[in-house]
Amino acid sequence: MAAAGDGLAVDWQMDLQKAATPIAEFIHSFHTGLLITITVITLFVLALLILVSVKFSARKNPVPSQTTHHVGLEVAWTLIPVLILVVIAIPSFRLLKEQIVAPKADLTIKATGAAWYWKFEYAKDAGGGFEFEARMLSDEERAKAVKDGKGKKEDFPRLLAVDNEVVVPVNKNVVVQVTSVDVIHAFAVQSFGVKVDAVPGRLNQTWFRATREGIYYGQCQELCGKDHAFMPFAIRVVSEEKYAAWLADAKKKFAAAGDAPVQTAETTLSAR
């Protein structure tokens, strides 16, 4: 079982979810750097405000100053903020590039958002050739899973546990192609620093390289309708041996569902 804040949010959590990929680590250090920068700037501006309100108050200066311009000051307060923004922009663009430009894929998965669940396809040429849907477990299903001895209560977190988990090998480049069959969804995994829109008729791409084994939960992060909050997915990062074993099992398990048509919002709605 993962530690608190590792792969999922926990009660009273103050910081970001623990990073599980180099990109997420980059995001965290960038975030910390920005937080320090804006804190220093805010305190500096506050100090200046207090200084001028005290030092240049009407009581202390009955005759107001006639100064309207100061070239040196104006150049300084234009150039210094510009320099700060440029310094911030450098790591920002580097991060953006690393997120967008995927390295050579060891494994490609296609994630299709639907109202309101995800479908995952493992490409045939990467040793897959099957697909499955991931749907959130209801409270009754979670209780039943624990009763049936499938795991402890914390193995099935509320609003996050799903019936079918995505399984990937650790320390491998996983490219995820993301699309949708109905409205715009978003494929997002906090611990991986991954978030990309799932747009119908368009194939987006993201990637991650998980450096720690464990279970990481993702959620739709584009308001998509009634059950937007109830379409999580889970990515289990395992050793290469465990992945090979899972792959062999999954091929058999999901083979029957192989060519099943993707459900649309209409068919999902009429099934309710």
Q: Which residues bind to Cu ion, rule: CB under 5 A?
A: 185, 220, 224, 228
Q: How near is the Cβ of 13 to Cu ion at its closest, in Å?
A: 22
Is residue 130 within 8 Å of residue 255, measured between CB atoms? yes
CB of 213 to Cu ion, least distance (A): 28
Q: Which is nearer to Cu ion, 111 or 167 (CB)?
A: 111
Nearer to Cu ion, 222 or 250 (CB): 222
Q: Which residue has the tokens 């090998």?
A: 169
Q: Which is nearer to Cu ion, 116 or 243 (CB)?
A: 116
- 137/238 with CB nearer Cu ion: 137
Minimum CB separation of residue 224 from Cu ion in Å reads 3
Closest approach, Cβ 219 to Cu ion, in A, equals: 8
| CB nearer Cu ion, residue 105 or residue 184 | 184
Rg, Å, the chain Cα set: 25
Q: In angstroms, what is the minimal distance from the CB of 182 to Cu ion?
A: 11
